[in-house]
Amino acid sequence: MRSKFIGIAFIALAISISLVGCGSKNETENTSEKLKILPKFSFEGKDGKKYTDKDFRSGVGVISFVASWCGPCGTELVELDSIAQKYSKILALAVTYEPPEFYAELFDSLKIKIPIVRADSSFFAAMGISKLPTRILIDKGKIISQIVGAPLPKNPEFYKKLKQALGIVDTSNQLL
């Protein structure tokens, strides 16, 4: 009986990984063929604060879709936290489908300060998320860049678009 349960659990895990994926390659998605406008949402964060699509309609924001089991997602969380600390004008938000007890230890161990919210699979589907981690750059409610996979090496096109959205003229070619 136990081995049958383990077998079923393994199959369920394999199916969920194949459906969601865990991107290890840093890819820039062409958002012109995908979602252009951030859909409506409202989620409560681990911090008790409510986060909605309206928070992303008046400025620049970054949303990263992550999971605790995804190795590259830890790297993504550190990178997103670093972006949020460097550019205080942006709203950075991590989104997962897992309950807090799954990701709390990861956040604590990495000393991540950005907020995290739990969303259901319909939000992941509405956003077109097929692999984790996925980072989305938003400017006034419009999706202007999407990065799929671990952010190593850092994606220069993402940082160029981030700085443009923030109105930063940069001639140094530094990524962060």
> What is the rounded average pLDDT of the residues 115-127?
94
**Contact (CB, 8 A) for 130 and 101:** no
E-strand spans in 1-128? 27-29, 42-44, 50-52, 60-65, 91-96, 116-118
Handedness of CA 117, 22, 124, 87 (dihedral sign): positive
Structure token pair of residue 116: 């995290």
The per-residue pLDDT for 169 is: 86
**Contact (CB, 8 A) for 96 and 28:** no
The per-residue pLDDT for 2 is: 46
The per-residue pLDDT for 170 is: 73
pLDDT of residue 150 exceeding 80: no
Handedness of CA 97, 20, 148, 69 (dihedral sign): positive
Average pLDDT, the chain: 82
Give the range among 34-48, 92-106, 113-127 with minimum mean pLDDT. Answer: 34-48
pLDDT of residue 19 exceeding 50: no
The per-residue pLDDT for 65 is: 97
Cα separation of 11 and 13, whole Å?
5
E-strand spans in the chain? 27-29, 42-44, 50-52, 60-65, 91-96, 116-118, 134-139, 142-148
Residue 36 pLDDT class (50, 70, 90 cuts): confident
Query: What are the respective helix, strand and coil percentages of the chain, to the nearest 5?
Result: 40, 25, 35
- CATH topology for 22-166 is Glutaredoxin (3.40.30)
**Contact (CB, 8 A) for 176 and 159:** yes
Question: Which residues have a Cβ under 8 Å from the Cβ of 172 and sit 6 or more positions away?
Answer: none
Residue 174 pLDDT class (50, 70, 90 cuts): low
